[in-house]
Amino acid sequence: MEDIAPDLLLRIRASFQKRMEESSQIQSLLERIQSGGGTYGDAQNYAYQIGQALSQALGENLSSAVLPDGRMYYNIASRVLEPLLEEDHSIVSQAAKLVQQSLNQKAGIGIQAQTVPVNADRIAGIVDKISNGESFEDVAWVLDEPIKNFSMNVVDETIRQNVNFQGKSGLRPKVIRKSERKCCPWCSNLAGEYEYPDVPDDVYRRHENCRCTVEYDPGSGKRQNVHTKKWTTDGQRDMIEERKQIGLTSTDIFRPKDYQITIGAYVKLNSLELLEKAKAGKRHSHAGVYRDAVGKSKKQLQKSIISRTAQIERHADKIQNPESYVPDWKEKSSAYQEGLIRKWEKDMRRNAEQAEIELAVFEEMYGI
Ligand SMILES: [Zn+2]
């Protein structure tokens, strides 16, 4: 028997390409998304159109007449549908990533847009369904709405991935689900605004024929310090920078209280406890930092506190703008990114503890 799969794939792919190129809706959505002005609503619409183009390309080339025994055998279905659905995924995923990237940029969020891997389970499900019919005509419906749904799901999952990733790194993004009029009671009930981590899984789900929109919102776009639960704002950073400049140029107006406030904005510490442990020489207590601090001159102590505070700020900036410090940050895996952010947070905390001890020594010796 002649193997028709390779030729079918070629013809469907050519038709899919042509439909995408000739669709003014697809092209104008793509233009908006590429120019940085796209929303997730646009990406969802784009995904729907891409899914529709694929669905039509399949419909145009597949029928009982061209298939052996008038049915879609598994080995044809898998070799034709898998690569095409993967292609759909990659086209839509790229657009969703661009949308997220521009939203991050607008919110001043220095976190790279995340993408999702292709959903092999869903592809397997579609291939199974289409190859389960006695005749192709019985199962042809699988190539319509389920394909569009597959395509739109890529966008929904991209939102989920980005919201969770940003949430884990201290941001509080939101998801806004809007129900398309007359969608269904389930969707009406689900419509609303949700803030990470209180986003139910269903918010990212889409039943067949559902055209509801799911939008990402950066929230305040500010990172919540995991220790202090305080927001770090740009304004606050500017003030800190100014204080640091004053501190560095003239030690005469060095005010320990200012540095405590600065450090406290980033890391919450129990300075009394830190100092007591260091004095007692407890393990992991920065006892060495305490001994050194006591032996330092006033000027040396001020310098050390200023320098440690600058370190804290540098780490805070790294956490907020990792791509400015790590080449190819966006190419790194999520595990790598999260690991490095955790390391910076640890370094920031260590510097803060050491600065607090020096500040305590400074206070004891020279007053506030
Ligand atoms: Zn709906």
Q: In the numeric block, which tokens belong to residue 46? A: 């784009």
Q: Each residue's pLDDT tens digit in the chain (368 positions)?
A: 689 999 999 999 999 999 999 999 999 999 999 999 999 999 999 999 999 999 999 999 999 999 999 999 999 999 999 999 999 999 999 999 999 999 998 888 878 899 999 999 999 999 999 999 999 999 999 999 999 999 999 999 999 999 998 888 778 899 999 998 888 989 999 999 999 989 999 999 999 999 999 999 988 766 554 434 344 444 445 444 544 444 444 444 677 887 888 788 788 888 888 888 898 888 778 999 999 999 998 888 988 888 888 888 888 888 888 888 888 888 888 888 889 998 998 999 999 999 999 999 998 888 76
CA–centroid distance, residue 95 to ligand 1 (Å):
22
CA–centroid distance, residue 67 to ligand 1 (Å):
35
Say how far apart CA 164 and CA 235 lie, in whole Å.
27
CA–centroid distance, residue 163 to ligand 1 (Å):
20
CA–centroid distance, residue 218 to ligand 1 (Å):
23
Say how far apart CA 257 and CA 368 lie, in whole Å.
7
- Measuring CA to CA, which residue among 267, 240, 278 is closest to residue 344? 267
DSSP-assigned letter for residue 201: G
What's residue 251's pLDDT?
Answer: 42
CA–centroid distance, residue 40 to ligand 1 (Å):
15
What's residue 242's pLDDT?
Answer: 47
- Measuring CA to CA, which residue among 293, 294, 312, 305 is closest to residue 351? 312
DSSP helix/strand/coil, 195: strand
CA–centroid distance, residue 206 to ligand 1 (Å):
6
CA–centroid distance, residue 186 to ligand 1 (Å):
8
CA–centroid distance, residue 53 to ligand 1 (Å):
21
What's residue 222's pLDDT?
Answer: 65
CA–centroid distance, residue 191 to ligand 1 (Å):
9
Query: For residues 164 and 196, is the Cβ–Cβ distance under 8 A?
Result: yes
CA–centroid distance, residue 28 to ligand 1 (Å):
24
CA–centroid distance, residue 199 to ligand 1 (Å):
17
CA–centroid distance, residue 151 to ligand 1 (Å):
15
Query: For residues 8 and 61, is the Cβ–Cβ distance under 8 A?
Result: yes
